[in-house]
Structure formats: C-alpha cells, structure tokens
C-alpha cells in the first residue's frame, strides 16, 4: 500500500469509529409519528402532541369473536376482570353495572355543583313546584323504578338531568357485556395508563390483554380454540406500524443485499471483490445514520429503510471500480460529477418541513459522499494486487451492439413521451393523493376493523374539536362553558350529534360558586318547599333528606380536578383539560349527527360558536377555535406534497445548472432529457394503474434523476473511451443498473406504503433511465463498442 | 369522548344508584313447575293462542300508582294502542300528556316535546315491565317465558296470569306482574314492586279504531 493509501485508510478508520460511536448512541424511533408532517406553528405542534398522548390514543378497543354468544360474553367478562387487576390499565369497561356505581355516586353527591339546571329561579317556590312536578311525571313512567330511590334526596331530579346530559352512546348488551350491533362480537374498552405516544407501553398493554385473554379462554374448556381476540385503537396501530416497519426494514435490507451479492458474484467471479464492494455501502450507511443522528437528534426507522436505497446507488461506485480498468483516469471524474448531481438533488430535500424527507435528504448526501470517497481513496489501495475479476468487455460489446441497433428506433421515444404526457394530462386533476392516511402502514383490514368497532362502541375519533385555552384553568373552564352553551344549541337543533366538555364534570369555579349561591339557606328553602308542594301529592316531611343535601351543598368546598382523581370522570377531565406551563387547554370533541363528516354549515356554526362566545368579564384572555384534525392533517400533507414537488424541481434545476457548468448547455440537455422522460413514463404508468402520486413517489422521481444521471454521464463520454474500455464501462453500467433495480425492486413489495411507493417509482425508473440514456446517447457512443465486440 | 367508561345510558347509571348497595346477585329462579312442559291442551297455550289471533287493539285506560312516599295515589288516564306483534303505544292524556311507544324492541318516551329512546334489549331490568304486556298481547309464549316464570289461574272466561321476573336485577325491583282478563281482552295489569309499591292499570272498553 502506498503512503497516501495508509493515510486514506487511517482517516477512514478514524471516521468509521467516530460514526459508529455516534450511531450507537443515536436515538431510534419507529412509530409513524416522526414521519408525519411537522405542524408549522408551535401551537399546533403542542396540540398534536397532546392529542397524541390524550385519551383517544389510550383507548384499546377489544373484541372477542368466535364460539357462541354465551362463551364470548363469559370470555369478555373474564378478560375484563383480569385486566381490572392489572395496574397497566386505568379503566376497563364492558358494560358491567357494578363498574358504573362510582360514577353515579359522584354525580349524585356533587349534583348541585354540576347541574346546569341549578339557578335561583329553580329553588324559588314556583321553580321547585315545576321541578318536583316533572320528577313525579318520571316516577309514573318506565324510569320510575329507577328514579324512586333518589326522590326524597333529589326531588328536583338533578341527578337524572346530569345522567341525561352525559349523552353516552348506546351500546348493545348481550348477556351483560357489550356487544357489536350484529351480535357477533363481545366488546370491551381498556384505557391504558401508558400514553398513546408511548409505543413500548402500548405494546406491553396489548401483550397483557393477549395473556389475560388466553387465561380467560382457557377457563372455558367448551369454547377453547374457537374464541378469537381482536384489538384495535391508536396505540395498537402504533405498535403494529412499528413492528411492520422494523420487520420490513430488516427483511428487505437483507433480501436486497443477498440478491445484489448474488448478482455481483456472477459478474465478478471474485468473493474478495464482492466483499470490497460492500465496504463503501456500509461506510455510506454508517455515515448517513451518524449525520441524521447529529442533524436531527433521532433516527427514524423508515430512514434506515432507505438504507436499502443507498445500497442501490452506492454499490454502483465500487462496480465501476471493479469492472472498468481505466478507473482513475476515466471513471472517477464521471462518478464524481454523478455523485455531485445526486447530492444536489438530495440537498433540495433537506430544508423540507416533512421530517422524513429531510432525514432522507441528509442521510443520502452523507451516505453517497462517504461511499464515493471510500471508493476513490480507500478501496483502490486495498485492492489486492492479484484481485482478478471477470473481464466483462465481451458482454459490454454485445450490449453495445444491441443498443446501437435499438438506437435506430429512437424516434419511437417521441411517441412514448407524447403518450405519457397525454395520460398525465387526462388525469391532471387526480394526479396527487391528498390524504395523509395514504401513508399509514396499518393494513386496510385493520383500519376497517377499527371503524366498525368504533361505530359499535360509539367511540370518538377526535376528528372535530373546539380548543379553548387561557392562562389558568379557571378562565379556560369559564371559556369552555361559554362555548358549550352555544354548542348545546347546535346539538339540540341536530346540527351536531353531541360534544363533550371538561366542564360537564368540572365546572369553572365561578359557575360552581354561582350555583351554590343560588341555593337558598335552610329556613328560606323550607318556606319555598312548603309553598311548592301545594297541589302536589308529596309532603315536606318526606323531603327532609333533600333539605339536608342542599344545605351540605351550599357549604361544600369547590370541586377541583383533585376531587375527580381516581374516578372514571377524573380520567375524562384529564383527557379534556390539560395544564401545561402557563397554559390551560380544554378540548371539546364533537361528533356529527350520523357519525360521518360534519356538513360545511355545521362547521361554520361551530366556528361561530367557538369564535363569538362572549369574552370573560375579568381575568386573562381566552382563545377558542375549532379544529378539524383530519382536514388539518390532509392540508398539511398537501402542503408538504407541494413542497416536495417544488423541492424536487429545485433539485432538478440544481442538477441542470451543475451539468451546464461542468459540460455544456447542449450536453447538459442531452444528459437530462432521458431522465425527465423516464420520470414522465413512470408517473404515467403509476397513474395508469390507478395509483395517486404521494410524497414518496415524488421523492422516488428525484431518485430516478439522481441515480440515472450517473448512467447519462457515462453515455455522454462513452465515445471518448478506447473500445475495450467502452465495452467494460457499458457492462459496468448494466450491472450497476441491475443492482439498483434489485435494491428498489425489493422495496416495491413492502407493505409499508412509503417504502413501496419509493420502490415502485425508482426501480422501473432507474431501468428506463438507463435505456433512454442509451437510446439518446450520441450515435458515436456505441461505435467503439460495436467495433470491438471482443478484446 | 363523552366518558371514558362509556358508562352507557342514563338509565343504566340510575340503576346503579337505584339498586340496593352491595345486594348480592340472586341466581335466576328455577322455572316454575307449571310451565315445565306444556301437555297438549295446556290452558296457557290455549289462552295465548286466543290472544295471538288479535291483530290490533285500541282501548282507554286508567292507571293508579300507589307509592309509599307519596301522600295519595297518582292517577293518570289515556289510551292504549296495540298492533301485532310488537308495536305498543301508551298515550297518557291526563294529568299530563306523555306518549310511550314500543316498536321493534325500541322504547321511546315523549313528554314536553322531547323524546328519549331506549333499546329494550340493553335493559334487562326494564324489559319485564314492557315485555309482560307486549308478549301477553302477542301470545308469544317463548318471549314471555324467557323473561318470566308464569302461573295461570282461572278459566278462559276469567283468567289471571302471574308473571315473576327471571332476571335477578329485575327481580330485585319487580316482585310480580299480574294480568287478568276475559278471553282475548285484558282487564287489568298490576305491577307489584318488592318494596310494596304497586301500580294498577285498568283497561276499559274497546274504542273505535
């Protein structure tokens, strides 16, 4: 090895150790959230975070299927009993009555602070007369049996009013446990202690449910083996996504490495060369991980998945080195320019607001630069003197002849271009996907199960909500009450299906005080009651418990979040009211009347309710607005899709400028034209088979240009090579292209949409880029290869 | 996100309050011997067959409820409508207008312009009160015996049917439902509660449809 070789190896070793250290200490994440668009404003980011960790994300919907209804109900009840004993779950609900008692007790005890019907008017003689009269009506109705026990304590029916206001979904019951409407599933809901964003915690919770189910099913020997457990929910999705991404990144990387190794072994007939070929690839992957870790603090699992794509391109460098003999003089300058064009293209992604794209950009830049540098300065020095790789000049020569013949038909490319443009033009309004959910790696069947369980359980998807915030929770709650008052009007009119508010269980201190103040002192209440009972079949002496309860309520301390802690209602308030630093935020989730989308008119009504609610008389200002999370997410997605297109075009522009400077405008055009054509044809083909283009398709197109520019650059200079070397260059291009197509082709079979989109775009694109570059190369390009079929 | 417990409908919660605290769940009472197996010509079958032939009915009613906590009984009156096999309407006109409708297993109560709806199947506790009347009118023995153990006295001209709830939750509240009548006409429906309270529904002469 030469002196400079030792220097190169030393620098390489030190850099590799440093990068390995960084990579070893990097944070890795695999849930999809890091790959979702980053909300542009700090406020939205905060909201998304809170929603992600909030109540809806902590609910696991559990279904028991199979066997018969009785066995399902028993298994579900057994499962619920086991889970209730597990501290990993805050609450497990399956419709069992005993579980409701604490909630009902709490409402009864605090009814005069909680009920919005409590006003001074209601406790006047006339008000009491009317209220007690109404309760007597209930007493004679079918609910009478239920109301009766409470009548002497609560003759004005506040508890019934509160329960009525709960507006809980109607869930069918079979054999005492919740059931799906078609009766084929027993259902329960488990609320995990772990936040939805805590994927490890969610995974443990899901595992605990499976274990408990196995035990519950084992206790039913009659139904053993025929009962099936199904889980769904945001946390479950996160766990599934992570497992899918993790498994696929490993499997696909391994598969493409094996396939490419097999290809290279055939091409080189040298194990040593094969080993050396992977040195720049591994160096590139390591450099990429280190760069992303340093640049972003955390490396996403999907970014590692793109390691596969790096194999596709970085492997090319070593292939050129081992197949072309005139490497340093003729190949390296071309590779250098090719690498720089790729870097230009990827650099355009780095400023993207979409974390996944930015990571991909940085990963690729660092990875390609490292791979190219290792190939140039380290690998040649390690190349054993006696390393004999197969001479592919003959293969290249034959290929050259074939391409020269094919070139005669290159006018047909005009027709191809026109056809592609026509397809794109005909579908111009539906070219791009606008739904963020298209990125979800959760299988469609799982998403459908989720939708049907949600419908059966009336579980909210927290899509529509009004967000109220202020500097302290008292003001926030007061603001939420003002909004809730208006929402109630919309709900009564059937414009919205219903809504939840933390103030239902935790009214603002001002409201609680006002309600307490409207309760008359004992002597006065006794007088009012005497007058109120005239004409009613009740005597005051029976209502002593009522007088006692009202007096206790008058003196009761204000209800605080602390009082609710540990009750199911506390869980609800925790989810709907968060206090974070100097901001208290209340969430009021809404549902549509039919469970589907809200009409534009309803949305306008809600916006008005949120934005025109009267401002507080005193205290800090209160902000309220309506959010449609799906629309916001889709808007963000569309925004980033537009950004990805713009950035990719910028990347293409940068590549063009670089080529113009390095070559000439005419040659630059000649190099870029086949690449653009390849992109057009791939886009048209994807559209033709019914795909809509998403962000990763656009990135894939950028990759076509980045990878394809190498081929185009080689064809551009092919005529200047001596015949045998031109043939070898051609052969190396074919092998490199095959390696790239394998690398991306494997991705195309991924069930993770982002990886599949990338593979399905880039694999055919790279092949076409090579083909079109060959066809559009100067006619002289293949002259020398054709003249020397063998050497 | 109304409530993390999805604690279900107001009625279920109310029931949680209404049930005596800590009351042990009693096993369902064993089927009464009378209906262990109906021999041919079983009087209950005969009665129910006769009732089942009636496709609709429309009659006036008066109801008196005797509640220990009230100073005097509560009286109400109105009309009953029945369409076979599962539509039952109780229109109270006095003292306040209120309509209870049972249609295809869904019970709705309308008073003061507001309607509350309840799926009967979700309320094994409420079901007996409604089902007693409906299943008897429909002559639906299977439905009747699913909810109650039955005991029939008298003859077709003057029969008296005693229904005891099987569901332990219901049995904690309702002691028995007593229905009397002559042939396919019902005369009285009396509901006896475990705490001694009771209600008596008297069905008057048929009104023109």
On the 0-12 / 13-18 / 19+ scale of CB atoms within 10 A, A665 is exposed
pLDDT tens profile A657-710: 888 888 888 888 888 899 999 999 999 999 999 888 888 888 889 888 888 888
* A2 in contact with chain B, both atoms CB, cutoff 8 A: no
Contact partners, residue A675, CB within 8 Å, separation at least 6 = A704, A705, A708, A709, A712, A769, A772, A773
Report residue A525's pLDDT band, with 50, 70 and 90 as the boundaries.
Answer: very high
- Enumerate residues 156 to 175 of chain B having a beta carbon within 8 A of any beta carbon in chain A: 169, 173-174
Report percent pLDDT > 70 for chain A. Answer: 87
Could you tell me which chain A residue has the CA closest to the CA of B70?
A538
Structural domain boundaries enclosing A655: 3-30+237-440+633-787
B193 touches chain A (CB under 8 A): yes
pLDDT > 60? residue B31: no
CB-based contact (8 Å) between A60 and chain B? no
**pLDDT of the residue at B68:** 87
Mutation target vs B (from A163, A568, A595; most B CBs, 10 A cutoff): A163
DSSP-derived secondary structure for A532-599: HTTTSS--GGGGHHHHHHHHHHHHPPPP-HHHHTTSHHHHHHHHHEEEETTEEEEEEEEE-TTSSPPP
Domain assignment present for residue A222? The answer is no
Highest CATH level, class, for B41-206 = mainly beta
Contact B32/A at CB under 8 A: no
Does the pLDDT at position B117 exceed 80?
A: no
Handedness of CA A114, A119, A125, A127 (dihedral sign): negative
Which chain A residues are closer than 8 Å to B6 by Cβ?
93, 168-169, 171, 189, 457-459
Give the 3-state secondary structure of residue A228: strand
Query: Which is more confidently placed, A1 or A136?
Result: A136
**Mean predicted lDDT score pLDDT of chain A:** 83
B182 close to B166: Cβ distance less than 8 angstroms: no
Q: Are A586 and A594 in contact (CB under 8 A)?
A: no
Token digits of residue B131: 């089902």
Half-sphere exposure of B61 (CA within 13 A, CB side): 26
Using left for φ > 0, alpha for ψ between -120 and 50, and beta otherwise, residue A95 falls in left
Residue B13 pLDDT greater than 50, yes or no: no
Q: What is the H or E stretch that residue B201 is in? A: strand B198-206
pLDDT at A457 over 80: no
Rounded distance between C-alpha atoms, residue B187 and residue A147, angstroms: 28
Whether A206 has its CB under 8 Å from any CB of chain B: the answer is no
List of chain B residues whose C-beta atoms are within 8 Å of the C-beta of residue A160? 10, 14
SS3 of A64, please?
A: strand
CB of A145 less than 8 A from some CB of B: yes
Is B28 part of the contact surface with chain A (CB cutoff 8 Å)? no
Smallest Cβ–Cβ distance between A150 and the set B17, B67, B197 belongs to B17
- Do A296 and A426 sit in the same domain of this protein? yes
Q: What's the pLDDT score for residue A517?
A: 94
Give the other-Cβ count within 10 Å of A615's Cβ: 11
CB A398 within 8 A of CB A391: no
Which residues pair with residue B206 across a beta bridge? B59
Mean pLDDT comparison of A227-241, A566-580, A613-627, highest-scoring range: A227-241
Q: Identify whether residues A421 and A391 lie together within a single domain.
A: yes
More confident residue, A169 or A791: A169
Q: Is there a single domain that holds both residue A683 and residue A714? A: yes
Whether residues A574 and A494 fall in one domain: yes
- For residue A105, the chain B residue with the least C-alpha distance is B17
**A551 CB near a chain B CB, below 8 Å?**
no
Q: Which of B9, B11, B13 to mutate to test binding with chain A, by most A CBs within 10 Å of its CB? A: B13
Res A51: pLDDT: 59
Q: Are the C-beta atoms of A633 and A37 separated by less than 8 Å?
A: yes
A629-657 per-residue burial string, b: 16 or more CB within 10 A, e: under 16: bbebbbebbbebbebbbebbebbbebbbe
Q: Do B1 and A589 touch (CB under 8 A)?
A: yes
Domain boundaries, chain B: 41-206
Give the integer Cα–Cα distance in Å for A66 and A227.
5
In a domain, A514, yes or no: no
Please indicate whether residue B104 or residue A315 has the higher confidence score (pLDDT). A315
Do A189 and A62 touch, CB atoms closer than 8 A?
yes
What distance in Å separates the CA atoms of residue A154 and residue A151, rounded to the nearest whole number?
5
Q: Are A140 and B191 in contact (CB under 8 A)?
A: no
pTM: 0.67
Question: In this structure, what DSSP letter does residue A779 have?
Answer: G
A108 touches chain B (CB under 8 A): yes
Q: So what's the pLDDT on residue A82?
A: 92
Which pLDDT value is given to residue A791?
38
Question: By CA distance, what is A163's nearest residue in B?
Answer: B10
SS3 state of residue A776: helix
**B63 interfaces chain A, CB cutoff of 8 Å:** yes
**Helix (H, G, I), strand (E, B), or coil: what is residue A171?**
coil
State whether A108 and B173 contact (CB < 8 Å). no
Which parts of A590-722 fold into alpha helices (H)? 600-611, 629-662, 665-688, 695-717
The count of domains in chain A is 2
Q: Using only the alpha carbons of chain A, give its radius of gyration.
A: 35
* C-alpha span between A680 and A420 (Å, rounded): 6
Q: Any idea which of A143-152, A165-174, A388-397 has the lowest mean pLDDT?
A: A165-174
Place of tokens 């089902």: B131
* Neighbour count for residue A589 (Cβ, 10 Å): 26
Residues A255 and A385 in one domain: yes
- Closest in B4, B15, B125 to A572, CB measured: B4
Alpha helices in A297-409 (DSSP H): 301-305, 307-323, 332-347, 355-373, 379-382, 393-407
Q: Exposure of A133 by Cβ count < 10 A (0-12 exposed, 13-18 middle, 19+ buried)?
A: middle
Mutate to test the interface with B, among A97, A109, A503, A539 (most CBs of B within 10 A): A97
Token pair 């070789």: residue: A5
A642 and A676 inside one domain: yes
Contacts of B7 in chain A (CB under 8 A): 93, 99-100, 103, 166, 168, 568
Question: How far lies A769's CA from each of A61, A660, A674, B182, in Å?
Answer: 48, 19, 6, 93
- How close does chain A come to B157, measured CA to CA in Å? 30
CA distance linking residue A203 with residue A205, whole number of Å: 5
pLDDT higher than 90, residue A557:
yes
The DSSP letter of residue A620 is: S
pLDDT score for A418: 94
Alpha-carbon distances of A468 from A414, A472, A590, A603, rounded to whole Å: 59, 11, 14, 16
Query: What number of other Cβ atoms are within 10 A of residue A385's Cβ?
Result: 4
pLDDT digits (tens, 9 = 90+) for A724-778: 778 888 888 898 899 889 988 988 888 888 888 889 999 999 999 999 998 888 8
Determine how many CB atoms are found less than 10 A away from the CB of residue A578: 21
Give the confidence band of A36 by pLDDT, cuts at 50, 70, 90: low
DSSP A446-512: HHHHHHHHHHHHT-----EEEEEEESSHHHHHHHHHHHHHHHHHHHHTTSS-EE--GGGTS--HHHH
pLDDT of the residue at B24 = 32
* Residues A690 and A567 occupy one common structural domain: no
**φ/ψ of residue A251, rounded to 5:** -65, -45
For residue A159, what are the CA distances in angstroms to A35, A147, A296, B180? 47, 9, 53, 37
Least confident of A535-549, A629-643, B26-40: B26-40
CB neighbours (10 Å) of residue A24? 10
Residue A94, helix vs strand vs coil: coil
Please state the rounded mean pLDDT for residues B124-135: 73
**B142–chain A nearest CA distance, Å:** 18
pLDDT, mean of residues A559-573: 75
Is there a cis peptide before residue B95, judged by omega within 30 degrees of 0? Answer: yes
State the virtual CA torsion across A539, A541, A542, A548 in degrees, nearest 10. 130
The Cα–Cα gap between A321 and A259 comes to 20
Contact between B10 and A170 using a beta-carbon 8 Å cutoff: no
Q: Which run of H or E residues covers position A299?
A: strand A298-300
Rounded to an integer, the average pLDDT of B91-96 is: 85
Q: Contacts of residue A139 in chain B, CB cutoff 8 Å?
A: 65, 67, 74
Does the beta carbon of B191 lie under 8 angstroms from any beta carbon of chain A?
A: no
Regarding whether A271 and A400 lie in a shared domain, the answer is: yes
- pLDDT above 70 as % of chain B: 74
* Cβ B136 vs Cβ B181: under 8 Å: no
**A299 phi/psi in degrees, rounded to 5:** -110, 125
- pLDDT of A327 strictly over 80: no
Closest chain A residue to the Cα of B192, Cα to Cα: A145
Retrieve residue A111's tokens. Answer: 């009814």
Chain B residues whose CB is inside 8 A of the A589 CB are 1
Peptide bond into A188 cis (omega under 30): no
Determine the average pLDDT of the residues in A703-722: 83
Distance from C-alpha of B24 to C-alpha of B72, rounded to nearest angstrom: 33
Q: Which helix (H) or strand (E) holds A514?
A: helix A509-517
- Contact status of A181 with chain B (Cβ, < 8 Å): no
Higher pLDDT, A739 or A462: A739
For residue A294, the distance in angstroms to the closest alpha carbon of chain B comes to 40
Do A590 and A649 share a structural domain? no
Q: How far apart are CA A257 and CA A506, in angstroms?
A: 59
pLDDT band at A210 (very low <50, low <70, confident <90, very high): very high
Collapse the DSSP code of A48 into the 3-class scheme (helix H, G, I; strand E, B; otherwise coil) and give the result. helix
Q: Are residues A683 and A759 in the same domain?
A: yes
Note whether A137 contacts B126, CB cutoff 8 Å: no
Task: State residue A728's pLDDT score.
Answer: 84
Query: What was the pLDDT predicted at A5?
Result: 73
- List, as one string, the DSSP characters of B80-93: EEEETTTEEEEEEE
Note the residue count of chain B. Answer: 209
What pLDDT is stored for residue A765 in this prediction? 95
* pLDDT band at residue B10 using 50, 70 and 90 as cut-offs: very low
Are A578 and A664 found together in one domain?
Answer: no
Average pLDDT for A544-563: 91
The reply to whether residue A148 touches residue B1, judged by beta carbons under 8 angstroms, is no
**pLDDT of the residue at B202:** 93
Provide φ and ψ at B178, rounded to 5°.
Answer: -110, 125
pLDDT for A788: 46
* Mean pLDDT (whole number) for A340-351: 84
| Sequential DSSP letters for A104-118 | HHHHHHTHHHH-TT-
Best to test chain A binding among B14, B25, B130, B169 (most A CBs inside 10 Å)? B14
The predicted-structure confidence for A70-107, as pLDDT tens digits, reads as follows 888 889 989 998 998 888 888 787 766 555 667 778 88
Share of chain A above pLDDT 90, in %: 19
Q: What pLDDT, on the 0 to 100 scale, is given for residue A404? A: 85
Q: ipTM of the assembly?
A: 0.75
Which is nearest to A500 in space by CA: A395, A572, A408, A589?
A589
User: Can you tell me whether residue A674 is helix, strand or coil?
Assistant: helix
Q: Which residues of B touch A97 (CB under 8 A)?
A: 12, 15-16, 19, 169
Start-to-end CA distance of chain B, whole Å, equals 47
pLDDT greater than 60 at residue A33: no
Q: Among B8, B14, B117, whose Cβ lies nearest the Cβ of A171?
A: B8
Tens-digit pLDDT profile for residues A261-293: 999 888 888 888 888 888 888 899 899 999 999
pLDDT at B180: 93
Q: What pLDDT, in 10s, does the model give residues A224-247?
A: 678 999 998 888 888 888 788 778
* Tokens 């074919």 sit on residue: A734
Domain co-membership, A672 together with A703? yes
């Amino acid at each position: 090895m030469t002196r400079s070789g030792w220097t190169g190896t030393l620098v390489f070793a030190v850099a590799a150790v440093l990068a390995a250290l960084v990579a070893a200490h990097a944070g890795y994440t695999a849930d999809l959230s890091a790959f979702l668009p980053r909300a542009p404003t700090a406020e939205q980011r905060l909201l998304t975070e809170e929603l992600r960790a909030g109540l809806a994300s902590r609910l696991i919907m559990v279904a028991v299927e199979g066997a018969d209804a009785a066995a399902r109900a028993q298994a579900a009840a057994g499962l619920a009993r086991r889970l209730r004993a597990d501290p990993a779950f805050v609450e497990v609900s399956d419709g069992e009555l005993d579980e409701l008692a604490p909630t009902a007790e709490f409402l009864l005890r605090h009814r005069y602070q909680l009920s919005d019907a409590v006003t001074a008017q209601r406790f006047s003689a006339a008000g009491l007369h009317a209220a007690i009269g109404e309760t007597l009506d209930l007493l004679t109705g079918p609910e009478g049996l239920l109301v009766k026990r409470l009548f002497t304590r609560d003759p004005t029916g506040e508890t019934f009013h509160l329960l009525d206001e709960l507006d809980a979904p109607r869930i069918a019951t079979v054999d005492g446990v919740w059931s799906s409407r078609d009766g084929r599933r027993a259902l329960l809901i488990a609320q995990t202690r772990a936040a939805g964003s805590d994927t490890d915690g969610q995974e443990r919770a899901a595992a605990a449910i499976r274990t408990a189910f196995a035990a519950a099913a084992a206790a039913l020997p009659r139904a053993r083996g025929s009962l099936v457990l199904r889980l769904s929910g945001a946390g479950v999705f996160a766990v599934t996504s992570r497992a899918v991404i993790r498994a696929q990144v490993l499997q696909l990387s391994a598969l493409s490495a094996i396939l490419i190794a097999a290809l290279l072994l055939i091409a080189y007939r040298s194990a040593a060369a094969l080993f050396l070929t992977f040195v720049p690839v591994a160096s590139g992957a390591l450099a990429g991980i280190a760069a992303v870790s340093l640049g972003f603090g955390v490396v996403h699992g999907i970014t590692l998945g793109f390691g596969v794509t790096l194999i596709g391109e970085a492997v090319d460098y070593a292939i050129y080195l081992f197949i072309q003999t005139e490497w340093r003089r003729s190949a390296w300058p071309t590779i250098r320019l090719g690498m720089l064009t790729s870097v230009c293209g990827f650099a355009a992604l780095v400023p993207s607001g979409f974390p996944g794209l930015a990571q991909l950009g940085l990963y690729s830049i660092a990875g390609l630069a490292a791979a190219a540098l290792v190939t140039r300065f380290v690998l040649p020095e390690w190349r054993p003197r006696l390393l004999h790789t197969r001479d592919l000049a003959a293969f290249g020569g034959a290929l050259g002849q074939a391409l020269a013949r094919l070139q005669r038909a290159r006018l047909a490319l005009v027709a191809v271009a026109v056809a592609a443009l026509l397809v794109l033009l005909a579908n111009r309004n539906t070219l791009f996907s606008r739904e963020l959910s298209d990125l979800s790696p959760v299988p469609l069947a799982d998403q459908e199960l989720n939708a049907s369980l949600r419908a059966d359980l009336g579980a909210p998807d927290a899509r529509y909500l009004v967000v109220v915030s202020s500097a302290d929770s008292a003001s926030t709650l007061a603001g939420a009450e003002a909004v809730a008052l208006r929402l109630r009007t919309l709900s009564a009119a059937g414009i919205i299906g219903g809504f939840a508010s933390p103030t239902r269980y935790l009214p603002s201190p001002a409201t609680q005080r006002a309600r307490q103040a409207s309760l008359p002192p004992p002597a006065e209440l006794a007088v009012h009651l005497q007058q109120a009972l005239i004409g009613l079949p009740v005597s005051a002496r029976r209502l002593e418990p009522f007088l006692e309860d009202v007096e206790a309520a008058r003196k009761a301390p204000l209800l605080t979040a602390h009082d609710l802690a540990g009750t199911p209602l506390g869980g609800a308030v925790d989810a709907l009211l968060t206090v974070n630093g100097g901001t208290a935020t209340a969430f009021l989730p809404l549902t549509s009347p039919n469970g589907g989308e809200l009409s534009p008119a309803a949305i306008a009504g809600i916006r008005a309710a949120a934005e025109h609610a009267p401002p507080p008389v005193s205290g800090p200002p209160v902000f309220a607005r309506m959010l449609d999370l799906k629309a916001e997410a889709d808007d963000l997605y569309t925004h980033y899709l537009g950004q990805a297109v713009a950035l990719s075009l910028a990347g293409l522009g940068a590549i063009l400028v670089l080529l113009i400077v390095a070559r000439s405008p005419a040659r630059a055009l000649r190099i870029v034209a086949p690449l653009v054509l390849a992109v057009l044809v791939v886009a048209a083909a994807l559209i033709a088979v019914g795909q809509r283009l998403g962000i990763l398709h656009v990135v894939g197109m950028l990759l076509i240009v980045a990878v394809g520019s190498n081929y185009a650059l080689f064809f551009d200079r092919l005529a200047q090579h001596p015949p045998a070397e031109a043939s070898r260059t051609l052969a190396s291009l074919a092998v490199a292209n095959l390696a790239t197509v394998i690398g991306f082709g494997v991705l195309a079979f991924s069930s993770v949409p982002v990886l599949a989109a990338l593979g399905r775009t880039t694999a055919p694109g790279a092949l076409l880029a090579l083909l079109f570059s060959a066809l559009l190369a100067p006619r002289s390009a293949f002259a020398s290869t054709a003249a020397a079929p063998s050497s | 996100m109304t409530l993390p417990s999805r604690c279900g409908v107001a009625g279920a919660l109310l029931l949680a309050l209404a049930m005596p605290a800590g009351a042990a769940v009693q096993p369902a009472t064993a089927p009464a011997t009378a209906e262990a197996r109906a021999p041919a010509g079983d009087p209950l079958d005969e009665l129910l067959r006769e009732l089942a032939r009636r496709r609709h009915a429309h009659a006036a009613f008066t109801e008196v409820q005797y509640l220990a906590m009230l100073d005097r009984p509560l009286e109400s009156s109105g009309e009953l409508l029945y369409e076979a096999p599962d539509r039952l309407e109780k229109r109270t006109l006095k003292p306040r207008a209120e309509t209870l409708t049972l249609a295809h297993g869904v019970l709705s109560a309308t008073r003061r312009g507001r309607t509350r709806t309840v799926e009967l199947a979700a309320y094994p506790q409420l079901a007996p009160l409604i089902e007693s009347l409906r299943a008897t009118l429909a002559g639906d023995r299977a439905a009747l015996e699913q909810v109650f153990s039955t005991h029939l006295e008298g003859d077709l001209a003057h029969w008296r049917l005693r229904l005891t709830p099987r569901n332990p939750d219901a049995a904690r509240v309702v002691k028995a439902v007593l229905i009397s009548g002559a042939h396919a006409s019902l005369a009285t429906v009396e509901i006896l509660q475990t705490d001694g309270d009771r209600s008596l529904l008297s069905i008057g002469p048929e009104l023109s449809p």
